[in-house]
Chain A
Amino acid sequence: SQQGEEDPQALSIQEGENATMNCSYKTSINNLQWYRQNSGRGLVHLILIRSNEREKHSGRLRVTLDTSKKSSSLLITASRAADTASYFCATVTQGGSEKLVFGKGTKLTVNP
């Protein structure tokens, strides 16, 4: 069963705009990861944030984590058409097994 739930399910924006995707999860975590999937391809890791971190940056990506609200957000700034993809959050549950459990993803469309 899914641990993380992404919101919104789909997002359509214009090139140059920022895109924000949210992830909520149910149980305490050790870390949370974001992945990207282009249509017909495998998932690609974007960023990992640990439970004791609140914010992390990687290029145009900014991830925040609020463990009190059990939520995370992924911000893509100055979006490009090439950012069109599905984005997934995945969690490693604290005190549980080592497995990574994925949400159902947000489908992002960036219009040129």
Chain B
Amino acid sequence: DAGVIQSPRHEVTEMGQEVTLRCKPISGHNSLFWYRQTMMRGLELLIYFNNNVPIDDSGMPEDRFSAKMPNASFSTLKIQPSEPRDSAVYFCASSRIVGPNTGELFFGEGSRLTVL
């Protein structure tokens, strides 16, 4: 299995530009999570999907952030317009089991975003 695939691995952009991060979960996994990692705040859950439906987006910082999952094999996280404080590593993770006993999450290698 190829694992969770994220792109791009690195992105440097200027404030105000649109950023789109992409994720391909592991085939057969029905849940997908987007996390953001910074030194100050650690790992924060932004949003997660179950069977392509957004279940909890309470962690999305503000309206500049949006996420979609048009099908079981693809998700995007978009930031428009981007700001320097959005600089972080964004992780996508997928799981087979989500529920009262959410199981193991499989993480991608992350997308390191730098907003100048």
Q: State the A residues within 8 Å of B (CB).
A: 2, 30-31, 33, 35, 41-45, 48, 50, 88, 90, 92, 94, 97-105
B4: chain A residues at CB < 8 Å are 42
B110: chain A residues at CB < 8 Å are 41-42
Best-buried of A31, A45, A88, A101 by chain B (most CB within 10 Å): A45
A41: chain B residues at CB < 8 Å are 109-110
- Beyond the given pairs A30-B100, A105-B42, 11 more chain A to chain B contacts, judged by CB atoms under 8 angstroms and listed by A's residue number, are A42-B91, A42-B93, A42-B108, A48-B103, A48-B104, A50-B101, A94-B100, A97-B55, A102-B35, A102-B43, A103-B42
A35: chain B residues at CB < 8 Å are 105
Judged by DSSP, the binding face of A is strand
Complex: chain B residue closest to A105, CB-CB: B42
CB distance A92 to B101 under 8 Å? yes
CB distance A100 to B105 under 8 Å? yes
Question: Within the complex, which residue of A44, A50, A101, A105 is in contact with B107, where a contact is CB–CB below 8 Å?
Answer: A44
A97: chain B residues at CB < 8 Å are 55-56
B42: chain A residues at CB < 8 Å are 2, 102-105
CB distance B100 to A92 under 8 Å? yes
